[in-house]
Structure 1
Amino acid sequence: MVRRNPGRRAALLDAAIEVLADEGARGLTFRAVDQQAGVPVGTASNYFSSRGDILKGAGERVYERLADDDVIADGLQGPRDRARVTELMHALVDRVAAFPTGFLALLELRLEAVRRPELRDVLTHRIRADLDFNVAHHEKSGLPGDGTMVVLLWLALNWLIVERLTLPELFTDEQRHDLVTALVDRLLTGQPPKSG
């Protein structure tokens, strides 16, 4: 019988995220989740009927933890110019990179989704909803740029975060900062910003 304690379920999914980040999808077992969560053996199997259920739940949980109503509200504050878009993109990269196990777990889930259509469906739905929300939120904000710019930023910044987490010495912090700034500038103007 599946238990319904939402706090315990969330803690088990948080443990699953840590296992995915540390061990990869192949290391995700009921026992590994129980051990990471510090609960008795068999607890995860009381909450999830299969390993696939844990994978799907972990995919949803990453996004729950990344959602921040204060950050979303903050995006509607301040000036409506390129500098503000740049500031928000720097904050986004830093916020996602501050939850490295979540992002790494999401990468593992994406790879596992290649082999599991039911997981692919969950991730496609969840990521599509996130992307659609970001486009709508940007358009509502009155900031410069359109929905295509938001998608291009999303694609480019996701890969920059991958590089930051998997090959941290590839770019310095200053180079990453400059790349985010250049990306916003070029997407909003179609050309590099003028110096001087």
Structure 2
Amino acid sequence: MKKHSGMRPHDIVVLLKIAAKGKKKWFMKDLSNELHISASEISESINRSKFSGLIAPNKKSIMRLALMDFLEHGIKYVYPQQPGAIVRGVPTAHSAPPLNNTIVSEEHYVWPYAKGNKRGQAIEPLYATVAEAVLKDEKLYELLALVDALRVGRAREKEIAIRELKIRILGEGSIIDEKSIDSKLTNKSL
């Protein structure tokens, strides 16, 4: 067995792609094609996530609570990001759905992408092919944009992003539903 050398940024992309599929069956070759990541990298990513406890030992499902815990408490420290130069790209963080429906800002954040339709401050994606992959998968796009809000957002943006991620990651295929998430958030803020 290979020595575990720690999680890599694209491991989060792979996990979020699996989460975006919900209860649909998935195969590593499909993840490879849809994310534009080599099959060997997908396999190694799944193994790292298994070792980290983010994928079940049978490698068939993500550990939703563990993933949400990591995103809420660790992503901003492990994969921090600072907005960069103004470039053309695909909107992310508060500039993308679903946050752009709630948060109005003069600052726009984008993943650099030559075929993008917006200009804004560059946010380095968790993997180079993210901008291309999200244009074909709306659910993945929302998840990755919400994660970027955790990486670069202000307190209000992060709070809303956490709530939206919990709904999307824990709400589907889990005993946790939106009402219980809302009540937990309300009780936590009191």
TM range (shorter): 0.3 to 0.5
- Which structure: greater strand fraction? 2
Choose 1 or 2 for highest CA Rg.
Answer: 1
- Which structure: greater helix fraction? 1
